[in-house]
A and B are shown apart, each in its own frame.
Chain A
Amino acid sequence: MTDYRVSKLFFDLHHDAGLAREYRADMGSVIDRYQIKPDIRKALLADDVASLAPLVNAYLLRFYFQVRGMPEAQFIAKLRAMDPASGHSTGKVAHG
């Protein structure tokens, strides 16, 4: 289910380099401006890809972890760990 507030945070970080710098310096104070739910706040602070993925558009999720400075290979590994069967529920098969 899409969470509007965390989506808006990701969108704003994607658009505003100043906000992204501020976020890198002090995530908590930026998160607080978005009235984000406590469990989502915790997931943000922990870079918990699996918890955040169902809440936002997949492209915004990618942009967000680029802002966070997570290497793409690590981001992909965390995504794949969400579904060790590589998406059997959707009929998808993962390849290199």
Chain B
Amino acid sequence: MPRLSAKLHYQVSFILNGSVVAGEAEPRLLLTDFLRHVVGATGTHVGCEHGVCGACTVQINGRPARACLTLAVQVQGADIKTVEGLAPASDRLSVLQESFREHHALQCGFCTSGILMSLDSLFREKPDATEAEIRETLAGHLCRCTGYAPIMKAAMAAQKTLRTGVEGPANA
């Protein structure tokens, strides 16, 4: 592969929530900034920018990952899902999102999109995840206002709905 120069912009494209997106990026551009400033998908939030807070968590090829610890040029051709890809329709929330609303699992909402992306991945990989596994997943996210108790409640309620299928095969 030719060397990408620090001084130039390059075309980067990947699949975002099922559709191909493309834009220009310098090698140093973080995926967070590519999503927010180039693509205009501002659902992914930027907190600490060193991988600690979890606000920027997205799914890269199905696995939760920190967008702030990923360069846009690294995800050329990847399959990326962000919070914008959770709701089945513009007027309908996913089971997980609905459960967060129901259980007051968000207050300021800054950490929420990252948490949703981690839980969405967890429940897809491990539909029967234990309470301890859910807690461990949440340990990768800092919430400083809502508190984790309602978030746990919402996660467990969503898991129950997803397993019993009351809501049909909606994506979590």
Whether A and B are associated in the same complex: the answer reads no
Residues of B within 8 A of A (CB): none
